[in-house]
Structure 1
Amino acid sequence: MNMQRKPRIAIIIGSTRPTRFADRPAQWMLKQAQSRDDMEAEIVDLRDHSLPFFDEVASNLWAPSQNPDAIRWQQTINRFDGYIFVVAEYNRSITGVLKNALDQAYNEWNRKPFTAIGYGGLGAARAVEHLRTIGIELQMVSTRSAVHIGGGDFFAVMPHGGNKPIEDIEANLLPSAKTALDELVWWAHATMAARTSSLS
């Protein structure tokens, strides 16, 4: 049997606010990914990509992007085989910066899987559902499972609440994290194989 390489996974931090909470779930998810031997994961922080609001003539599905920052972003995400989005819920959807980052590429997201870790009163459930519908349009594959930090767990760890470490609530998160990562790796291998066979 031909052993495929390990999928490369980007954990994309989808908030850029100076006071964001996102770093804590991002680092926790990185730790879960790095504890496994079936993927390679790293953080990709939107703060490191000063993307303009989308202003190209069209999606790069139809025309190459012109803005150097957009092109650098496309090159960054193209290196990965799958994605874990760190999702804050803003008014029942994802953040504006994450939506803009998704819009700034198309070909690079195409036929790759993703999952999410969301946080908020309802665990960012509505934002993650919105992310999934965007992913469909980008021809991505969503896992069924995601990690949701919500309700009392969120208020225990949020800075203006209990401000406890995520490790204090991780027993509630570990089962969904394992399932989401299992599904992500399965789909990453499936889509990597399919993309390779379509090139040959």
Structure 2
Amino acid sequence: MSDKLHVEKIKSIASLLSAIAIPTVLALTGYFVQQSIADDGIKKDYLTMAMGMLKDGGDKLDPELKVWAVSVVSKYSPVPFSSEAKEKLGRVLYIEPFIPELPDIAKQKDISDICSGGCSSALTEKYEGWMKKLEGKTGEEGINALAAILDESVRYSADLAGALDSARNSGNACVNTYEIIKGQRD
């Protein structure tokens, strides 16, 4: 019976130790994982800052800062740089690409005065307004109201057609400019 008592004590002690050890091991593992994630985040931030300095600074970057940035990039790179590559990285120049101004013909015409809220809703609003103008009109009064509405709708249609022509021209100009930049056209 003393063996059973002895086994029960060992089981109790083992249960107690496992109840303490498991959460402790989990807490320590979690701590080290979080620490590793935080360190990786800091490394990424420094690497981003160093690369930004090398990219944006070019020749204007202070030589000491350039050496620091190259050292940071070299330190946190998963593939080690050779000494020659480090030296070349410190001499890299970043040249800003030239992006030409958009030609006036490529700019969209502002049609907010013609189509406030969108052309479909503006046209629907115009139509409803014209129908109200015709309500209850008969005879010569109705003909005059209809003639005024027809004049207004023709002017409105001409404005819309002009805006559409401008949009087509600017779209074509954008395509042509893009093709010229890409070297697909002279």
TM-score scaled by structure 1? 0.22
Higher relative contact order (CA 8 A, sep 6+): 1
Q: Pick the structure with greater CA Rg.
A: 2
